[in-house]
Structure 1
């Protein structure tokens, strides 16, 4: 990649992370179309490149959450127990089965659009919210599915886990740091899995290291700033923002398929 492309990647990573980090989304889901359409990263190398972005960008927000005391509890462990094996499964599927990206975009779009709109409506027309958290079995099963998807398409999974858990009544302040921590661990294992698989298969399998690092350094800065903003934002604003992000991602993927 040229220095100009790396500069664009740094800027994109920073802008996306500062907006998405407060609600527990790494931003990789929005960076993926930029890498494909603007920066021209080949497939399937775009998947581990996106995972590399998460690895480098993740500590920025996580350090801030740790200083604020938000990384306690068992939610991170439950998510990691599902996403870590899932991302390895997803990497193997991506390299050897090469599933079509269009099917993924349609399914995720149709899933996230009503969920995102529902979160927005709940803020605009508040009703009595169900408190508490889903069962550990549900959380781990959800994380396994999301980890597999993340391994195939190079997304952290926070964009899917976050809206589901928040929609089930969990506070954003609890979900966001756990989702980001799980995304970081999942991406670390996923990027390593692709690096290993690149020695066994011909083609563009390994990540674009320079671009992934450039995007990740931007995300490192943006993620720290975004996590610092979170305590200053009211819960309803975070819920509404998460709903908007989920809806925007759904529309983006559906438009890509239509186009």
Structure 2
């Protein structure tokens, strides 16, 4: 048991350090580690991942707030529309998608296209005017709500999906990262609370693994701060390619496991 705690701490630290500069908490990559290496059962792995986001989030957010990067309405709009979606997604995850086989297919379905898209978009970036702005209020609301539902099912917080959506509109990573991490943190708080309540009505392992979630989150708290501090000095192209390649590899591995 002790080795899993330390392994969770190390995984949270390493993943958050790499992913927080681009507005991703790291839960999208931590989830397969929890599921396959640390042995967290499904669907309890989803609220455990949300718990990681809750504990890890303030590290990067505090640094971004200190740098003044959280100013503006983008973060508030993302939070308002992702919150109801994550509650819907939590209910779907518990009552409609409890099986590990289906869950692995779901993981692959999101990771594979996400990774391929990140790589292609990085290698062949879309041409956008330098004054590109955020999507319209209607498009932003629909996108955030949809991502909120997916986040509640998958336990990722939403930054790994919202980031690419906003980046495709030409917004700079320096503006995207703080807003998506803020949405990830608030939706993870709501999602973790929803799973704790749903655990009372479900006989399966729905409640989070508190010890492991807190250990992963403690590592993510430190890693998130370090990543946010390093963001101005890191090459964005290399980070996007790394994230895309990792997501593609993990998605392919889970697709093979689910279909085997």
TM exceeding 0.5: yes
1:38–1:102 Cα change, 3 Å: closer
Which residue of 105, 108, 113 corresponds with 2:107?
105
User: Residue in 1 aligned with 2:243?
Assistant: 245
TM-score (norm 2): 0.92
- Is the partner of 1:198 in helix, strand or coil? helix
Contact kept? 1:119, 1:243, Cα under 8 Å = no
Deviation at 1:31, TM superposition (A): 0.4
Contact kept? 2:147, 2:158, Cα under 8 Å = yes
Aligned residues, how many? 252
Contact kept? 2:109, 2:251, Cα under 8 Å = no
1:68 corresponds to 2:70: no
Deviation at 1:98, TM superposition (A): 1.4
User: Residue in 1 aligned with 2:175?
Assistant: 174
Correspondences of 1:125-164 after superposition (within 5 Å) = 128-130=127-129, 131-164=132-165
1:35–1:110 Cα change, 3 Å: closer
Correspondences of 1:146-225 after superposition (within 5 Å) = 146-225=147-226
Deviation at 1:102, TM superposition (A): 3.5
1:52 corresponds to 2:54: no
TM-score (norm 1): 0.92
RMSD: 1.5
State how far apart, in whole Å, the 2-side matches of 1:106 and 1:56 are. Answer: 26
| Per-residue CA distance 1:86-143 (angstroms, 9 max, x = gap) | 11000100111116224323431443134212222136xxx74332221122122111
After superposing the two structures, state which structure 1 stretch, 100-109 or 188-197, moved more: 100-109
Contact kept? 1:115, 1:243, Cα under 8 Å = no
